[in-house]
């Protein structure tokens, strides 16, 4: 009984640590993406149409995503869990949790 509780506790702790590290990796990638977009905007006086203009490739499993909304605004986001995302909007320059 005690060994089952220990195994369950260790499993939950490891899962929690993995989840935190995974979110940090996504956040780090999203921050890098924002920095690249802002640098591109300064150099080209416009926003990139997509991440390929930043020298990146966007896939279904990318850590974070970029979307140009208007000629002067964009958003970057990544998933937290099913139906929940952390979203950065250039208009407010703030992160929000949505979903």
pLDDT of residue 15: 46
pLDDT of residue 5: 59
Q: How far apart are CA 5 and CA 65, in angstroms?
A: 39
Put residue 93 in one of left, alpha, beta given phi > 0 → left and psi -120 to 50 → alpha.
Answer: left
The answer on pLDDT for 36 being more than 80 is yes
The answer on pLDDT for 37 being more than 70 is yes
pLDDT of residue 89: 98
Comparison of pLDDT for 6 and 78, the residue scoring more = 78
pTM of the model: 0.75
The answer on pLDDT for 19 being more than 60 is no
pLDDT of residue 65: 97
């Amino acid at each position: 009984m005690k060994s089952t509780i220990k195994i369950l506790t260790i499993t939950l702790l490891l899962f929690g640590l993995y989840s935190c590290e995974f979110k940090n990796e996504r956040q780090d990638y999203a921050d890098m993406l924002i920095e690249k977009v802002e640098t591109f905007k300064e150099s080209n006086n416009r926003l990139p149409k997509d991440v390929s203009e930043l020298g990146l490739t966007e896939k279904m499993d990318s850590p974070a995503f970029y979307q140009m909304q208007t000629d002067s605004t964009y958003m970057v986001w990544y998933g937290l869990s099913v139906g929940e995302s952390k979203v950065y909007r250039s208009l407010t320059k703030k992160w929000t949790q949505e979903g």
